[in-house]
Amino acid sequence: MGCDGGSIPRRDEMVKLKKKAEKVDKDVELQARWKYCALSGEELKQPIVACELGRLYNKEAVLLALLDKSSIPEVARHIRSLKDVTVLQLTVNSSYKPSSKADTYNDTQTSQYVCPVTGLEMSGRYRFVYLRRCGCVISEKALKEVPSETCHKCGAGFKSAHVVRLNVSEEEEKGMREEMEEKRRRPRWQR
């Protein structure tokens, strides 16, 4: 440690500095939001549902949480029943290959689902929305480029109030939460 006559201590050996806060890797965070259930943390598998705040869940995890309402985590407290979630109609990516072995290379850039109109992968790089009426998931880019009042995938009609963005930022989620609470205060026939 020094001061024994044979070594010269450096500043970093003598002065303890504050550790810098660890930053979350953006790619890892995106992968966690788009590939794993927000409630259970397990990998998303069909049937996948989404709430009014745009979070993705396994339907099985939501059902188990609703059976024991006392143990629902804060992330899903706004889900009161299955009426508060929508089953998503996702388009499977034909080029996606799940890895079967633990020691093989996992391509985290490819996604299991794509937009049926533009072919963009649902990996978090692009914004995606779902329509609450039919549950179809499309990219926000497709919705803007081809404006329509019918779903691009199934042809069902919808209004702009039925479009919900998936996996939004914290600031956008606050606005969506206020809108959801306002909608829940109104009578059912006015929603």
For 114-131, write each residue's pLDDT tens digit. 999 998 988 888 899 999
CA torsion through residues 168, 172, 173, 175, sign? negative
Specify the DSSP element, H or E, that contains 63. helix 59-67
- The number of beta carbons lying within 10 Å of the beta carbon of residue 57 is 26
- pTM, whole model, 2 decimals? 0.77
Buried b (16+ CB within 10 A) or exposed e, 80-91: eeeebbbebbbb
Higher pLDDT, 8 or 167: 167
